[in-house]
Structure 1
Amino acid sequence: MALRAVPFFPCNFAAGRRVYNSNGKLWNEGWGAERMIHKKTRIALLSTALLLTLAACAEPDAGMDLQQRRQAAEAVDPRIVQAQNEFGMKLHRQLTEAEKAKGNQAANVVLSPYSVSTALAIAYNGAGGNTAGEMAETLGWTSIGKDEANAGNRALQSLLERSGDSTELRVANSLWYRKGLALHKPFLDTVKADYRAELHSTDLSGKETPDAINRWVSKQTKGKIDKMVNGPLGQNIVAVILNAIYFNGTWTDPFPKSSTQEEPFTLADGTEAKVPMMRQTGSYAYAENEAWQAIRLPYGDGRMAMLVVLPKERSSLDELHERLWTDSSEWRKPFEHATVDIRLPRFKTEGAWRLNEPLAGLGMRDAFDPSRADFSALADIRPLYINEVAHKVYIDVNEEGTEAAAATSVGIATSGPPERPLEMTVNRPFFFAIEDTQTKAWLFVGSIGNPAES
């Protein structure tokens, strides 16, 4: 018997697309749950996923006007947001360095710190002893008790889902567990109350269960993910933890499609790729110094925005990464407004990551070790450990916006808007973050080495 959360992918593996993990090994070709299981060991697999697509905004949970939401944002524990952002940058570093070690200098590295930390938070509530301590350290919660962390996550999720009429952000969690399994009541109560997770007690080894899970995923992502599980889950699977994030945002000022033209994008190795370059001029939150330019492109009424950070030509994305990984707070500060002629590539990109090694590299080791893992707060089963943390991201940015189903301490000198617009042409590798402008939470982050590579 074991705890397992199934990988949640925003695509149909039956289509045969190959996805590689952070070690460069083929992940999904012929993927089936049985292939992930070592028959003689207790297995725990935790999964988190995020789908970003371009689709029409629908049924947003506006809930409160901009001022009301600003007041509510002030009540969100800033330690939770800071911990999530810092965790995201640490994980981004692990993934970026893993790609470079494989020779992928132009790799696009995208992830959702919010999605990963939310899924791990659910598992954290089932952890005890040193396992819990390592998870807290990795998530940045050492000075935050479990109750405070859960309350903070609950408040943040509730606020994010009220993102305005022109944006939609939905978070869904569910826990599927073997019928008859005695999960501890405090764990179940927390999962229901603080993460609003649906609970499903079912025959996990039954033939109908994969279809039921896939139907749940399809519903939460509005059909953008229609298959997550291929085949039976196996006799020794006792629980499945799922997390899904759906984001749909329309630019406050859409880019005119008539202004989009094919232009060169210079890759890290000096070669060029042709990309569709969107363009418009407007008043934006903008900052720059001797090493970089940064701009915030708002969605809807401005509750959400895309932050784009572009290294100056005499600098590089590697140098920008070092600044971001050391201290990203500079890019979460307010920027002055300026008139900017912005050129931004239209791009699609995705990422499929096996996060076991990156998380272990951040200090979360015991959770993956059958002989050391302690998930005694979840159930009285030994051994019980996390077999895999899987994360999938798909992002599509175009003239209309970003629609989805899955920023150094150098002072900024900004003057008033000049007579001629400032120019920011994103024609070389850059960093972006989709952020909640009121809490400063970076929900999705990424580095784009080649926009032409989808």
Structure 2
Amino acid sequence: TFDADWQQEYAWASETDNWFTAYDGTTQKASVLNSDNLPSYHAEGYYLSDEHSTGFLKYYKGGRYAFAVMLPEEGMTTTEYLNTLTADSLHNMLANPENVNVRTAMPEFSYEYEVQLPEVLSEMGMPSMFEGGLNRMTDGDNNYFVSTVMQKTFIDVNKKGTKAAAATLGIVDCSASTTEKEVICNRPFVYCIVDTETSLPMFIGTVETLN
């Protein structure tokens, strides 16, 4: 079970009609978590990007874990984006955020579902995660690999933080500059909970609809 508060909590979530465009093109009401509603800096401080997405890292209290958001480029579905990722490319992006101000917005969301991930991730080009391919991402000589992925998934992301219970957790064995970016997640996006010591995702999912 994962239960953590944001390092910077949102002061409130803004109820906004027709804010989120779902995978099927419908527009939906959202409770929007906007960086303008952060009490201190009114921005996040860590920007993520690769060839096909932009995103940000938002830290939880204590700094050990962070929430990562990846918004595919316009016209690309989350499935198409995930198919471009490899274990190396995902790790490299999570391990090397750009320290700049990022204006962000994302919806509150809560999901419960069941999924088997090893086959899915292998089909995405990440079979090495289950075959000892994580050792090059960590210090030391141990051969790390994802040994299992729990099937039952629950995640709740809100203005205070994140709860994830019996989640899709891979079990792994053995001051910003004045530059400003913008990541507005008003359409489907990918998210993960990241262990910042290893830059490995513990939990990964997508938001396709708020209904």
Structure 2 residue aligned with 1:344: 106
Q: Is the counterpart of residue 282 in structure 1 residue 36 in structure 2?
A: no
1:292 positional shift: 1.5
Taking a change above 3 Å as real, the CA distance of residues 360 and 331 of structure 1, as seen in their structure-2 partners, is closer
Contact 1:256 1:279 in 2 (8 A): no
Pairing 1:50-65 to 2, within 5 Å after superposition: none
Give the counterpart of 1:262 among 5, 9, 16.
16
Q: TM-score, normalised to structure 1's length?
A: 0.34
1:270 positional shift: 2.0
The amino acid of 2:104's aligned partner reads I
Taking a change above 3 Å as real, the CA distance of residues 442 and 271 of structure 1, as seen in their structure-2 partners, is same
3-state SS of paired residue (1:318): helix
3-state SS of paired residue (2:115): strand
Contact 2:23 2:208 in 1 (8 A): yes
Aligned length: 170
Q: Distance in 2 between matches of 1:359 and 1:290?
A: 20
Structure 1 residue aligned with 2:2: 247
The answer for unaligned runs of 5 or more in structure 1 is 1-245, 363-388, 407-414
Structure 2 residue aligned with 1:401: 161
1:442 positional shift: 1.1
Q: Is the counterpart of residue 353 in structure 1 residue 107 in structure 2?
A: no
Pairing 1:191-230 to 2, within 5 Å after superposition: none
Taking a change above 3 Å as real, the CA distance of residues 358 and 286 of structure 1, as seen in their structure-2 partners, is closer
Structure 1 residue aligned with 2:182: 423
Structure 1 residue aligned with 2:39: none
Q: Distance in 1 between matches of 2:76 and 2:15?
A: 26
The amino acid of 2:184's aligned partner reads T
Give the counterpart of 1:330 among 73, 92, 95.
92
Q: Which structure has the larger Rg?
A: 1
Contact 2:15 2:29 in 1 (8 A): no
Identity of aligned residues (%): 29
Contact 2:47 2:98 in 1 (8 A): yes
1:390 positional shift: 6.8
3-state SS of paired residue (2:92): helix
Contact 1:266 1:273 in 2 (8 A): yes
The amino acid of 1:339's aligned partner reads N
1:323 positional shift: 1.6
3-state SS of paired residue (1:302): coil
3-state SS of paired residue (1:256): coil
The answer for unaligned runs of 5 or more in structure 2 is 36-41, 128-148, 167-175
Q: Is the counterpart of residue 304 in structure 1 residue 59 in structure 2?
A: no
Give the counterpart of 1:446 among 201, 205, 208.
205
Q: TM-score, normalised to structure 2's length?
A: 0.70
Contact 2:91 2:200 in 1 (8 A): no
Q: Distance in 2 between matches of 1:308 and 1:402?
A: 13
Taking a change above 3 Å as real, the CA distance of residues 262 and 289 of structure 1, as seen in their structure-2 partners, is same
Give the superposed CA RMSD. 2.9
